[in-house]
Structure 1
Amino acid sequence: MKLMVCVVQNRYRSAMEEGLKEKNYRMTELSSSGGFLKKGSTTFLIGIIEEDIENLRENMHQICYAVEKKKGKSPEESSRYTSFLIDVKDSMPFFQKSAKQ
């Protein structure tokens, strides 16, 4: 099991949330303010089995592409979102320490 941390530009946030829910992905959404990617962003935490990682990435790409197509904008491949994976077993010490405080 993996935890995908995905920071999405706000222009894709609602489409990403709706699109992933339609595909039955469960996630936690964290809104934030700041200068990451030079625009407002939202962080999604998504639990995913290893066999489904590439499918999730492809779904996310298609969701962003559909937003761009709908708005008539040229694809901005490099600034849609950034994501990384954490093995769930590696994240457990962090959560155990937080729970004790």
Structure 2
Amino acid sequence: MKLFICIVHNHYRDVIEKGLNEEGYRMTELSSTGSFRRRGNTTFLIGAAEQDAENVKELMKKLCTEQEEKKPQPDFVTNRFVSFLIDVNDVRLFTENSPG
């Protein structure tokens, strides 16, 4: 299992969220600001099977390019998104009724 941490400029937020959902990828969305990207951003936490990792990255690039064809990238935007890919070796789901 892989975990993508993707910091996406808000210009691309909606199209990435919709496009990934349509392809069956689930994610958690966090509003984020700070010195890393400086302007309004959204951070997506996306879980994917190991064999899907490259597909997620390529899909995000494709979705951003399609968005730019409809609405050009703002001048101040230097990157569409920054992503980190992390191996997840221990996945545990806890519910209210789970022991420990």
Task: Determine if the TM-score, normalized by the shorter chain, exceeds 0.5.
Answer: yes
Q: Matched residues in 2 for 1:67 and 1:12: separation?
A: 7
Give the share of equivalent positions with the same residue, in percent.
52
Partner residue, 1:32: 32
Residue 17, structure 1, aligned to residue 17, structure 2? yes
Does the aligned pair in 1 maintain the 2:11–2:73 contact within 8 Å? no
Counterpart amino acid of 2:16? M
Partner residue, 2:64: 64
- Identify if the C-alpha distance between structure 1 residues 79 and 72 changes in structure 2 by more than 3 Å, giving closer, same or farther: closer
- Identify if the C-alpha distance between structure 1 residues 5 and 91 changes in structure 2 by more than 3 Å, giving closer, same or farther: farther
Structure whose residues are more often helix by fraction: 1
TM (normalized to structure 2)?
0.79
Provide structure 1 residue ranges, at least 5 long, that are not aligned to the other structure.
93-101
Q: Matched residues in 1 for 2:73 and 2:9: separation?
A: 15
RMSD over equivalenced CA pairs, Å: 2.3
Which stretches of structure 1, 4 residues or more, deviate above 4 A after TM superposition?
Answer: none
Following superposition, the deviation at residue 17 of structure 1 comes to: 0.5
Counterpart amino acid of 1:30? L
Following superposition, the deviation at residue 91 of structure 1 comes to: 8.1
Aligned length: 91
Following superposition, the deviation at residue 26 of structure 1 comes to: 0.4
